Structure 1
Amino acid sequence: MNDMNEEANPSRLIDARIEQMTDWRGTMLGRLRDIIRQADPDIIETVKWRKPSNPLGVPTWERDGIICTGETYKDKVKLTFAHGAAIDDPSSLFNSSLDGNVRRAIDFSEGQAVDADALKTLVRAAVSLNVSKKKKR
């Protein structure tokens, strides 16, 4: 990443984050990223909250606003949906941040299966919510 444009490219920063994790978390984040991108081809990858202690920032997927972020912790990969409390979760994927009025999250642990179809449904619901909010403005 010597070139400034390459370093600033959000997708390359997300690639770098996935590559730097040599355990299951990198594999899981990569799998979740693929599913999110398959859910809606118009989703844009961005990176938020870059700082010296986290130079690669937080992978973020957007369409007319933030859909979700992907964070890695020692024991989990967390997808946080910015407006998760306002979307239907027919497969009950949300298992974290359930008490808030706005966000909802899914914590994925090592070895956990990912229901790709249910996750795509959730991502599409989040996109629909963002698009409808934008139209109202």
Structure 2
Amino acid sequence: MADKADASPSDLIDGRIAELNDWRGETLARIRKLIHEADPEVVEEWKWRGVPVWSHAGIICTGETYKAVVKMTFAKGASLDDPAKLFNSSLEGNTRRAIDIREGEKIDEKALKALIKAAVALNMEKPAKTRRA
């Protein structure tokens, strides 16, 4: 890979997946694939010193990795319907909601794709405000 300063967000995410080299990397790669399948126009970003971010008219979700979980945090999760009850973390806030995926847990791919599509639709309906410098 090129120098980190020159690397694209997609290259940096590839690097994170490779460096994890365990179930967390596999899970992050699986989530990433599902996000791209649900929204082929998704934009990959790398923010906050090393957090993979997927956006479309605003942030859809982030993919953070910790020792025991891979956490998908949906920026506007509190505003999304979650009929499959995927959200299992950060439930107390007014804005974000998260899904903690632990080693060996199966991902409900159909429900996750529906949640991603709903997040994109919400972003398109209410695009993120651009900050003024």
Smaller-chain TM-score bracket = over 0.9
Separation of aligned partners in 2, 1:8 and 1:130: 27
Contact 2:4 2:12 in 1 (8 A): no
**Which residue of structure 2 lines up, in the alignment, with residue 2 of structure 1?**
2
Matches within 5 A, 1:73-92: 73-92=66-85
The reply to whether residue 110 of structure 1 matches residue 103 of structure 2 is yes
The reply to whether residue 26 of structure 1 matches residue 25 of structure 2 is yes
**Which residue of structure 1 lines up, in the alignment, with residue 14 of structure 2?**
15
Indicate the structure with greater helix content.
1
Identity level (%): 58
**Which residue of structure 2 lines up, in the alignment, with residue 125 of structure 1?**
118
Q: Relative to structure 1, is the Cα distance of residues 113 and 4 closer, same or farther in structure 2, using a 3 angstrom cutoff? A: closer
- How far residue 11 of structure 1 moved from its aligned partner, in angstroms, is 0.3
Separation of aligned partners in 1, 2:106 and 2:45: 26
Gaps of 5+ in 2: none
User: RMSD over aligned Cα, in angstroms?
Assistant: 1.7
**Which residue of structure 1 lines up, in the alignment, with residue 35 of structure 2?**
36
Contact 2:24 2:70 in 1 (8 A): yes
Figure out how many residues of one structure are paired with residues of the other and give that number.
129
**Which residue of structure 2 lines up, in the alignment, with residue 66 of structure 1?**
59
For 1:31, the aligned partner's letter is R
TM-score (norm 1): 0.89
For 1:89, the aligned partner's letter is D
Separation of aligned partners in 1, 2:88 and 2:16: 24
